[in-house]
Amino acid sequence: MGENTIVWEVFIQSKNGLAHKHVGNVHATDKVMALENARDLYTRRNEGSCIWVVKAKDIVSSESEDSEAFFDPSNDKIYRHPTFYNMPDGAKHI
């Protein structure tokens, strides 16, 4: 668009029942234009059944530099995974 228009991040639900997935962004001055630009740019081949657009500046992201510390609380909790448990031989459907 130019003249530093607003950047909108685009999320597309490819099929009813699936989660919206980030696909990229568009420039637009308002939300209707953002949706229409996203449609024209990201769904030219029936890639979508629903589109979300979110102003990029409203997205809060964790920092990749401290991702280790940030995700640390889950590192040592292997008992959250089913493979942690010993199942008796012969037990089925569990």
Write out the residues near another protein by the rule CB under 8 A.
1-5, 7, 23-27, 29-30, 33, 40-41, 44-45, 61, 63-65
Minimum CB distance to another protein smaller for 15 or for 93: 15
* Residue 91: CB minimum distance to another protein, A: 39
Tokens (6 digits) for 6 = 């607003």
* Residue 92: CB minimum distance to another protein, A: 40
Minimum CB distance to another protein smaller for 68 or for 76: 68
Q: Write phi, then psi, for 68 (nearest 5 degrees).
A: -65, -50
What are the beta bridge partners of residue 39?
none
Do 62 and 70 contact (CB within 8 A), yes or no?
A: yes
Displacement of CA 52 from its chain's centroid (Å)? 11
Minimum CB distance to another protein smaller for 33 or for 35: 33
